[in-house]
Amino acid sequence: MLRKLLSIASAALIGGVMLAQTADARTLDQIIQADTIRIGVNPNFPPMSSYGKTNEFEGFDIDVGNKIATALGVKAEFVPTETAQRVPYLVADQIDISLGALTRSAERAKLIDFTVPLHTESMAVLTTDKNKAEKWTDFNSDQFTLVNMRGNWSVDFLKEKLPNAKVLLVETNADTVRAIAQGRGDALIENVDFFLAFTKSYPDIKWRTLNDTIFVNYDAIGVSKGNDGLRQFLNVLLYDLHSSNYVNDTWQKWYGQPMLKPIVANPYF
């Protein structure tokens, strides 16, 4: 009985903390009154967001963040937010919204709320015209070497799904594309949207992205739990940004190619 009472008390305490954190989150009106919106962006994720030559943030997320601020009539304050910090920063009210390729997931939805999708990330194949494969499963052969970055979750996924392929592990995203350009590997199977910008360094290579996607994730803007006024404003704005093609045009500006699976604007959200 004591254990049960302690469990109930603990749950009530956690619930109270969550309610307090939600209450602390700045509302839409408070953001407008403060004349600033705090936007979490990844400082090490080019061309999504990173420090440019003048030590100012630049990238897709920065353009989108400035567009949001303009629509609100406020200034954008970009807060460096590493991948693992995105949800905790929202919960702790250190940022008002989170960008940075924030994939929707059931676990995250327990702690924060999401807008409608901003963009996708598609797991697919990046290769060259030297390979005639049309499906990702065609690479399950020892005649192919798959390049990937050491530590990526997709390394184990591909070892399970394509056990016959050879594997070359490198250190960075740029290294994966370089290895294919140099002929040390045949293909990259990953969330290829985030790698396409590196292909611009090798204009003599005829790059190919297979239309045969393995799966598509939907990335949205994160807001604090229960901050519905802000979330609904962003949903309306995102519909406008998608239907006007602003998101796709900005994506192509920074990534050099269209989004593999673009978001289709839907007024019903």
Q: Please tell me the distance from the alpha carbon of residue 194 to that of residue 213, in angstroms, as a whole number.
A: 15
Phi/psi for 98 (5° steps) reads: -120, 130
Residue ranges of alpha helices (H) inside 58-216 are 60-72, 86-91, 106-109, 153-161, 173-181
Structure-block tokens of residue 61: 């997320």
Structure-block tokens of residue 115: 């807008």
Cis bond before residue 267 (omega within 30° of 0): no
pLDDT of residue 257: 86
Q: Please tell me the distance from the alpha carbon of residue 9 to that of residue 224, in angstroms, as a whole number.
A: 24
pLDDT of residue 173: 87
pLDDT of residue 153: 87
pLDDT less than 70: residues of the chain: 1-23
pLDDT of residue 164: 98
Q: pTM value?
A: 0.83
CA torsion, ordered 190, 204, 47, 132, to nearest 10 deg: -20
Sequential DSSP letters for 214-225:
SEEEEEEEEEET
pLDDT of residue 14: 42
